[in-house]
């Protein structure tokens, strides 16, 4: 059961993995590498065959200390009274470690987690009460954590607590399942409890008790997950990434329908938990995000400024707080995150609120931390996304940005009813056109074969194409390990062209009619210096076949929405290059799906 749950959560980290079983003393098995290495060790361990009714497990993404067995979770306290697993990062672990060393504690690992488990043991031995000990620890820890904890003296109770890291508890017929994500226990139950920040829980076979930060018990109703266990299985597909690419038409359709008022089938301000006045009061937009969500923000900027004529600034969430941001009256800050748990984006949303700005989150997980922290929220309908390299969640973020921009343009009176209807109609045509793009799977394979052995690949685009090319470059670099960079082709002569030499691969995105001639002129410049060029275009845009080693065209759409179609063959390209190189596209090295630490 533990190994099954961990297999559902391996996307969160796979540097190492381990389990601890309550067997008095604890049985702990750990292994470096992916979960399959732990499975081998468990299978070979006679200790794991003992009858057991309670255990914890973890897949690690290294933050403190390298990925080796001593740093793998679970971690035991020095006197072996306590064992725990931890998702998050303890920021003041060095000070706490010094404190514990003064109390006679020694350490076998380099992790902040071992400090946490020893601090719990210290207070437990001092207070002689688990709840008092956990409340005391909560006051001492700075940073983020979700802990699952077992105590040697309590054979029947599992404890858990959280602060700024996700934690839910599945309720089964014969037990409870605390986890970072509901996907861990969907094979056993769909009923679960959401935990609020700084809550502590105790679980027995039949009872759950929830305590707030003051130690007072609180009552909580369970909820039922809308997800189905089939959503977290690969089914007929070789990898989750492939499955999720093919799920994009449905995910985009579901997100469009979610945004519509059920009575008149029009896009609704309420889908963003906002009113028309809230939109009308917006004078500026600031998008804060990381990775692919950051790239989705640049597409939102292009669409919003074009339709609504409202200025949009896009910032990396990790830089926002440290740039001493100046927010104006009427400015709304939009945080975009698939998981809704991205630590930098969460911190940036909190900072924006502290500075007095209204905040909107675009997230894919109901009840996530960023959603809870924001004034307004829009939930994309991508469903579970397991592959580390995002595909369908990014596509749903694009659609959320389109709808936001359209509603803002309507509220501001920048577009009339007829234009709004036309744009909406074209948005609802996108799922069918994305479905058409899925047939480009085989057409990207020849390009992938040509690119798989390259060391450097350049992506070029103008305007919105540049925004999409950033996502194409990231997708290819993160799962193929080829150095890829995206450049605005208008900047070629300001330095980038010096990198072009014979046979340098250049991938050009050309979907914007008004910029097509300029983009093709830029291609001529790199081609004349020996580059081998490839093109992703939109139908009806004329390009010369002689300029390119290969041309792929997507169906015609409103140019502002072209990114939703161009990104599909770019996803296929990165997926196929990864396979041709013998890599695992679902689990790229050094990366994890949910980046819940800075």
Per-residue model confidence as pLDDT tens digits over 94-131: 999 999 999 999 999 999 999 999 999 999 999 999 99
Mean of pLDDT values over 425-441: 96
Output the six-digit token pair for 330: 């009427």
Q: What confidence category does residue 592 fall into, taking pLDDT thresholds of 50, 70 and 90?
A: low
Output the six-digit token pair for 362: 């675009």
Output the six-digit token pair for 558: 């409103």
* Beta-strand relationship, 75-76 and 208-211: unpaired
Q: Give the C-alpha separation, 213 to 198, whole Å.
A: 6
Residue with tokens 């919105």: 464
pLDDT at 496 over 90: no
What SS3 class is residue 117? helix
pLDDT at 476 over 80: yes
**Torsion over CA: 556, 473, 484, 515 (sign):** positive
Task: Round the average pLDDT of the chain to a whole number and report it.
Answer: 91
How many degrees, rounded to 5, is the angle at CA 249 between CA 247 and CA 250? Answer: 70
Q: What is the pLDDT of residue 231?
A: 74
Under a CB-based contact definition with an 8 Å cutoff, are residues 146 and 180 in contact? Answer: yes
Burial of 460 (0-12, 13-18, 19+ CB in 10 A): buried
User: Among residues 290, 289, 302, which one has the least CA distance to residue 467?
Assistant: 302
Q: What is the pLDDT of residue 529?
A: 82
Output the six-digit token pair for 577: 């290059």
Question: Is the bond preceding residue 74 a cis peptide, omega within 30 degrees?
Answer: yes
pLDDT at 499 over 90: no
Q: What is the pLDDT of residue 595?
A: 65
More confident site: 265 or 317: 317
Output the six-digit token pair for 132: 């008092």
Q: What percent of the chain has pLDDT over 70?
A: 98
Under a CB-based contact definition with an 8 Å cutoff, are residues 101 and 115 in contact? Answer: no
Q: What is the pLDDT of residue 540?
A: 86
Q: Give the C-alpha separation, 550 to 532, whole Å.
A: 10
pLDDT at 491 over 80: no
Q: Give the C-alpha separation, 552 to 510, whole Å.
A: 10
Mean of pLDDT values over 419-443: 96
The alpha carbon torsion through 152, 158, 162, 166 (nearest 10 deg) reads 130
Q: pLDDT tens, 175-226?
A: 999 998 888 898 899 999 989 889 999 999 999 999 999 999 999 999 998 7
Residue with tokens 């080796």: 68
Report residue 147: phi and psi, to 5°. -110, 140
Q: pLDDT tens, 304-321?
A: 999 999 999 999 999 998
Burial of 494 (0-12, 13-18, 19+ CB in 10 A): exposed
Q: What confidence category does residue 596 fall into, taking pLDDT thresholds of 50, 70 and 90?
A: low
pLDDT at 328 over 80: yes
Residue with tokens 């200790």: 47
Output the six-digit token pair for 33: 């590498």
Q: What confidence category does residue 69 fall into, taking pLDDT thresholds of 50, 70 and 90?
A: confident
Output the six-digit token pair for 94: 């060095």
Mean of pLDDT values over 237-262: 95
CA distances from 586 to 5, 11, 294, 487, 578 (A): 17, 8, 21, 26, 10
Q: pLDDT tens, 555-580?
A: 999 999 999 999 999 999 999 999 99
Q: What is the pLDDT of residue 67?
A: 77
């Amino acid at each position: 059961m533990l190994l099954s749950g961990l297999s559902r959560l391996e996307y969160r980290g796979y540097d190492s993995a381990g389990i601890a079983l309550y067997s008095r003393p604890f049985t702990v098995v750990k292994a470096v590498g992916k979960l399959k290495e732990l499975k081998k060790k468990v299978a070979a361990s006679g200790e794991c065959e003992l009858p057991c009714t309670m255990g914890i497990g973890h897949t690690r993404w290294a933050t403190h200390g390298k990925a080796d067995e001593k740093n793998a979770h679970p971690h035991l306290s020095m006197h072996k009274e306590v064992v725990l697993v931890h998702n998050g990062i303890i920021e003041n672990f060095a000070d706490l470690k010094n404190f514990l060393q003064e109390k006679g504690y020694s350490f076998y690992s380099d992790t902040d987690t071992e400090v946490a488990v020893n601090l719990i043991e210290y207070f437990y031995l001092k207070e002689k009460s688990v709840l008092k000990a956990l409340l005391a620890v909560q006051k001492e820890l700075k940073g983020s954590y979700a802990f699952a904890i077992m105590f040697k003296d309590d054979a029947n109770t599992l404890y858990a607590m959280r602060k700024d890291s996700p934690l839910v508890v599945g309720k089964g017929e014969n037990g409870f399942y605390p986890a970072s994500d509901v996907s861990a226990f969907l094979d056993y139950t769909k009923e679960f409890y959401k935990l609020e920040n700084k809550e502590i829980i105790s679980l027995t076979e039949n009872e759950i008790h929830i305590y707030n930060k003051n130690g007072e018990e609180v009552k909580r109703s369970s909820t039922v997950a809308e997800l189905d266990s089939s959503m977290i299985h690969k089914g007929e597909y070789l990898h989750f990434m492939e499955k999720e690419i093919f799920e994009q038409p449905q995910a985009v359709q579901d997100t469009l329908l979610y945004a519509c008022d059920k009575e008149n089938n029009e896009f609704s301000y309420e889908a963003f938990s906002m009113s028309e006045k809230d939109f009308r009061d917006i004078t500026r937009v600031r998008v804060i995000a990381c990775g692919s969500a950051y790239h989705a923000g640049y597409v939102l900027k292009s669409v919003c400024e074009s339709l609504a004529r409202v200025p949009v600034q896009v910032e990396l969430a990790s830089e926002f707080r440290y740039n001493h941001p100046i927010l104006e009256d009427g400015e709304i800050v939009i945080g975009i995150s698939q998981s809704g748990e991205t630590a930098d984006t969460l911190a940036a949303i909190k900072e924006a609120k502290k500075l007095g700005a209204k905040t909107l989150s675009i997230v894919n997980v109901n009840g996530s931390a960023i959603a809870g922290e924001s004034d307004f929220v829009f939930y994309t309908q991508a469903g579970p996304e397991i592959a580390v390299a995002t595909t369908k969640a990014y596509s749903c973020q694009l659609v959320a940005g389109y709808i936001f921009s359209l509603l803002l343009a309507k509220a501001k009176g920048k577009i009339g009813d007829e234009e709004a209807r036309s744009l909406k109609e074209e948005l609802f045509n996108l799922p069918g056109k994305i479905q058409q793009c899925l047939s480009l799977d085989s057409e990207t394979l020849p390009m992938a074969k040509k690119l798989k052995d390259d060391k450097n690949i350049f992506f070029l685009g103008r305007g919105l194409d540049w925004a999409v090319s950033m996502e194409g470059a990231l997708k290819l670099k993160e799962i193929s390990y080829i150095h890829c960079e995206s450049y605005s082709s208008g900047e070629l002569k300001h330095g980038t062209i010096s990198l072009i030499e014979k046979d340098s691969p250049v991938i050009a995105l050309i979907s914007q009619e008004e910029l097509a001639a300029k983009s093709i002129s830029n291609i001529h410049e790199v081609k004349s210096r020996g580059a081998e060029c490839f093109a992703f275009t939109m139908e009806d845009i004329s390009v010369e076949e002689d300029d390119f080693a290969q041309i792929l065209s997507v169906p015609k759409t409103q140019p502002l929405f072209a990114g939703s179609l161009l990104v599909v063959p770019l996803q296929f390209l990165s997926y196929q290059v990864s396979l041709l190189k013998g890599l695992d596209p679902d689990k790229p090295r050094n990366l994890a799906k949910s980046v819940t630490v800075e």
